Chain A
C-alpha cells in the first residue's frame, strides 16, 4: 500500500501543537510591575558582586541558578503576603534577574586587557604597544596602574562599549523579532525547548494561587530529582575536592571513553559515554524521531562511515591507534568533518528557504486566520511591533555598528564589514533560528571565520584582532520570544522591562567591577582561578593574534572545498530522498545533526526519549505527558542549579579559611 504524503506543513503544525500545551489559546498580559522590577534589581544586584567574585576565584559564576532563586523567593513572599504572582510576572523576573546578575560580567574584558597589556607575553610577541586605545588605556596610564575603572583614562574604551551596546540592543531586538515572526508565526516551527522555561514559570506561579495543580507536584518531583542528581554529579566532586587532593567522582566526569576499546574493529570511530544523565530530561522533551534518527546516524558514522569508507580511502589519514576521544575527534575534524559540517550547515539554510519562499508567494493568495501556518498576521494583543519599524531599526543599528568599526579600524576593507553585516549575519541568524525552532540548539558554525577574513582582506595590522566584527547570530534569541508567547507575556512589556533596567545595570556593573578590582590586583593570590588561568590565556591570545603573521595556519588549511561540497550536497540529497519516499522531514534534522557526531554523547538523551515514547506516553497519555515533561525539566534545572550554587558557596567559604600552622 502506498504511503500517504504528509506535507511538511502538516507535520510541523502537528508537532507545534504538541508543545503548545494550551492549544494555542491564551490571553496576553503585561509582566512588568513595580514589584517585579524592584525584586529583580534587589536579587540581581545582591548576587552580581558574588557572581563576579566567584568567577575570578573558582571560574564558575554560579549565575545560572540566581534567576530561579529570585523566583522562589518572590513566590514565597507572595504566599506569605496573601497575594498571587502571575506567570507573566515570574517570567519577567527570571529574565530581568538573569540580566542583573550577569551585568557585571560585561566589563570583564576591560580588566582582562588591563592585565594583558602589561604581561611579558604581550611584550615578547610585540603586541603590547599595538593594542588600540579604544580597547584599554596605555599600560603605564594612571587608570590601569591604580586599578580604577572610574578614572578618565577609561572614558574612550567605556564610551565605545556603551555606543556599541546601544546599537547592539537595537539590532538584536529587531532582528530576533523579525526571525521569530518568520519561524514561529509563518512556518510554525515547534521550538521544543521553549516550553521548559515557560512551564517552570507557570508552575511556580500556581503555588501562589489558592489551588495547587499538577504543575507544582511535577515541578517538585523534577526539583528533587535535580537536587539528588546535582549532589551526586556536582556536589560530591566539589565538596571532596575541598577536603582531598583528588576529588571523588561517583560517575566519571564528563564521560567514560570507549574510543580505544572500539579501535580494533572501528578505527577512527569515537564512542565516549557522556555521564550527564540530566540529558535524559531533554530526551523527554525533544521530538522522538529527531533523537532516534540522530543516534542512528551517529552510530552509522562512527562504526561504518568513518572506519569502513573514510579511513579506507585515506580521507581520515591522521588517525593512529591509542588516541582518546579528544585526539580522534580533533584529527577527524581536521581531516574531514569540520569541512563537511560547514556544508551540512549551509544545507539547513537552503532547506529553510525552500520551505519559506513558497509560503511567502502564497500568502497573498489565501485567507487564513492568525495562528495558522503560512500566516504572517500575529495573534491579537500579543504586543507586536510593525515589521517595517523593526527592519528599519535593524538597518540603523547595523549601519551604525559598521560605521563604528570602520572608525576604529579605518584601513580594514569596508566591503568585508558590509558583507558580514548584510549578507552573512542575516543568513547565519536565519539558519540558527530554524535549528532552534526544530532541534532547540545551534548547528551552524563556520570555524576560523575571522582568520579567513583577515587572510582574504590582506590586512596585516594587529588592531583588527581587537575590533568587533559584524558577524552576529540572532537566531538563538528567537527562542525567548517563543517563551514570551507561551507564558502569555506581552512583547511590549518585556521590551520595556529590558530597556528600563539597562541603564541601571550599566552603571551598577561598572561600579561593582571597579570595587572588586580595587580589592586586589586581578590576577593575584586573592583570585586563584584567574592567577592560574590568565597567564596561559595570555599566551594563547598572543599565539592567536600572531598566528597569521607568517600566513600559515593548520586550521585554515583543513577547510577543503570538495568536503564542504560533499556535506552540502549530501545533506540536500538526504532531504530530497526523504521527500521522494514520503518520509517525515523531521528525520532530515536528526540524520544530518547526527552524521559525524559521537553516539556516546547521545545515550542519555536517547534513553530519555525511549522511556518517554514507550513508557510514559502509554502510562500518562500523549497529551498529559507533553504537559508534564517541560515542567519536569524546568524543575530539574532548578534543582541542579541550586545544588551547584550551594556547593560552590561551601567550597568558597572553606577556601577563604586559612589554617595557620601555629
Chain B
C-alpha cells in the first residue's frame, strides 16, 4: 500500500508539472492532477493508520 500511495503521488505530481508546462496551466488539467494527488494522499494516510493498528494489535498480543 505504501508503494502504491507513493506511485500515485509521484504520478499526480508529474501530471501537474506536465499540465503546467504543456497545457499552459489550464485549470481543468491541474484539477485532474489534484484529484490524483488527493487519491494518493488519502491512500498514504489510510496506510499509516492501518499500519498503526497492525502494530498495536501485534503489541497487544505480545
Contact = CB atoms under 8 A, between A and B. Distances in A.
Interface string A351-371: 100110111011001100000
A565 to B, nearest CB: 4
A251 interface: no
Given A561-B27, A566-B20, A569-B34, 19 more contacts: A8-B48, A9-B49, A354-B38, A354-B44, A354-B45, A355-B45, A359-B49, A362-B52, A365-B53, A374-B52, A566-B25, A568-B31, A568-B34, A569-B16, A569-B30, A572-B34, A572-B37, A577-B10, A579-B44
Contact of B9 (A5, A7, A361, A576): A576
A350 interface: yes
A9 B52 contact: yes
Given A350-B41, A358-B46, A580-B6, A366 B56 contact: yes
B10 A580 contact: yes
A99 interface: no
B27 A562 contact: yes
Contacts of B25: 562-563, 565-566
A499 interface: no
Interface in A527-568: 561-566, 568
Contact of B37 (A5, A365, A576): A576
A575 B20 contact: no
Contacts of B56: 366
B50 A362 contact: yes
Contacts of A357: 42, 45
A646 interface: no
Contacts, number: 96
A570 interface: yes
Contacts of A569: 16, 19, 30-31, 33-34, 37
A358 B48 contact: yes
A572 B12 contact: yes
A573 interface: yes
B12 A576 contact: yes
Nearest to B24: A562
A562 B9 contact: no
Contacts of A365: 53
Nearest to A572: B37
Contacts of A374: 49, 52
Interface size classification for chain A: 20 to 34
Contact of B41 (A566, A568, A576): A576
A413 B44 CA distance: 41
A362 B50 CA distance: 8
Contacts of A564: 27
Contacts of B34: 565, 568-569, 572
Majority secondary structure, B binding face: helix
Interface of chain A: mostly helix, strand, loop or mixed = helix
28 contacts: A7-B52, A9-B49, A9-B52, A354-B45, A358-B42, A358-B45, A358-B49, A358-B50, A359-B49, A361-B46, A366-B53, A565-B25, A565-B30, A565-B31, A565-B34, A566-B25, A569-B30, A569-B37, A572-B12, A572-B41, A573-B16, A576-B9, A576-B41, A576-B44, A577-B10, A577-B13, A579-B41, A580-B10
Nearest to B37: A572
B27 A362 contact: no
The 8 closest A-B pairs by CB, nearest first: A576-B9, A565-B30, A565-B27, A358-B49, A572-B37, A561-B27, A569-B34, A573-B13
A365 B49 CA distance: 11
Contacts of A7: 48, 51-52
A563 B12 CA distance: 18
Contacts of A9: 48-49, 52
Interface string A1-23: 00001011100000000000000
Interface in B14-37: 16, 19-20, 25-27, 30-31, 33-34, 37
B30 to A, nearest CB: 4
Contacts of A361: 46, 49
Contact of A354 (B27, B42, B50): B42
B44 A350 contact: no
Nearest to A315: B25
Nearest to B34: A569
Contact of A573 (B12, B46, B57): B12
Nearest to B28: A565
Nearest to A7: B48
Best-buried of A365, A374, A569 by chain B (most CB within 10 Å): A569
A579 B51 CA distance: 15
A565 B51 CA distance: 32
Contacts of A366: 53, 56-57
A61 B56 CA distance: 54
Nearest to B41: A354
A126 to B, nearest CB: 39
Given A9-B48, A562-B27, A565-B27, A572 B10 contact: no
B51 to A, nearest CB: 8
A358 B38 CA distance: 14
Contacts of A566: 20, 25, 30
Contacts of B57: 366
B13 to A, nearest CB: 4
A569 B37 CA distance: 8
Contact of B26 (A562, A576, A577, A580): A562
A5 B50 CA distance: 15
Nearest to B20: A566
Given A8-B45, A358-B48, A361-B49, A350 B9 contact: no
Interface in A602-644: none
A426 B55 CA distance: 34
The residue in B13, B30, B50 that gathers the most chain A C-beta atoms within 10 A of its C-beta is B30
Contacts of A576: 9-10, 12-13, 37, 40-41, 44
A8 B51 CA distance: 12
A562 B20 CA distance: 10
A95 B34 CA distance: 43
A564 B6 CA distance: 25
